[in-house]
Amino acid sequence: MVDPLALEGPKKKASPVILIAALLGLTVVGAGGGWLVGTMVAPKIKTANEVQEKASAEAAKKEGAKEGAKEGGAIPTIPAAENGIVQLDPITTNLAYPSNSWVRMEVALVFNGPTDVKLAEDIQQDIMTYMRTVSLQQIEGPRGFNYLKDDLQERADLRSEGRVSRIMFRTFVIQ
């Protein structure tokens, strides 16, 4: 009986030229695909950037006009009548436990409809009173902060009878 493998002869090694040509071909196809996708996406990015630059330039012009009328280097605030947002004065108080821990927070209220400064001041006092009952362990970590936001939102909803749609934190520092 004759061995069929013996009749074929020695195996040939793959030529490195074929491998290099295949890799070069795949590189050209990949580069062409990247160029094609880039030309399809780049105009959309450019137009979005142009729109954003125009909007920021218009906002800077408006802000510059407002700053020209104001004195001092204070941060310009957006009038509440335009967007229904009332920024409360900074709240600084100590926590219940440990009593030597202090919290400072800047909060803004988003109203449904017309703003009410008296109501905003009442909500600010509620927030300060509530923060004096909170311990540091209750507000540690992201979960604790979310619970605090939910509690303050619930207090604002109860006080305003649904007129405040959202509480936004601008700053929150514990020392």
- pLDDT tens digits, residue range 76-126? 555 555 678 888 999 999 999 888 999 999 999 998 888 888 999 999 999
Residues 132 and 163 in one domain: yes
Residues 124 and 160 in one domain: yes
Q: How long is the chain?
A: 175
Structural domain harbouring 42: 8-76
* 120 found inside a domain: yes
* 1 found inside a domain: no
Q: For residue 85, what pLDDT is reported? A: 87
Q: For residue 41, what pLDDT is reported? A: 74
Residues 60 and 113 in one domain: no
Among residues 52, 76, 100, which one ends one of the domains? Answer: 76
At residue 173 the predicted structure's pLDDT band, cuts being 50, 70 and 90, is: very high
Residues 87 and 71 in one domain: no
Mean pLDDT of 143-161: 92
Residues 87 and 167 in one domain: yes
Provide the number of structural domains found in the chain.
2
Q: Which of 115, 64, 107 is nearest to 85 (CA)?
A: 115
| H or E element, residue 20 | helix 16-69
Q: For residue 70, what pLDDT is reported? A: 47
Residues 37 and 104 in one domain: no
- Terminal alpha carbon distance of the chain: 92
At residue 128, does pLDDT exceed 70? yes
Q: For residue 2, what pLDDT is reported? A: 60
Residues 87 and 170 in one domain: yes
Q: DSSP letter at 105?
A: E
Residues 98 and 72 in one domain: no
Q: For residue 5, what pLDDT is reported? A: 57
The separation between CA 59 and the C-alpha centre of its own chain, rounded to angstroms, equals 20
Q: For residue 72, what pLDDT is reported? A: 47
Q: Which of 106, 132, 122, 133 is nearest to 156 (CA)?
A: 122
Q: Give me the CATH number covering residue 112.
A: 3.30.479.30
* 69 found inside a domain: yes
Q: For residue 12, what pLDDT is reported? A: 66
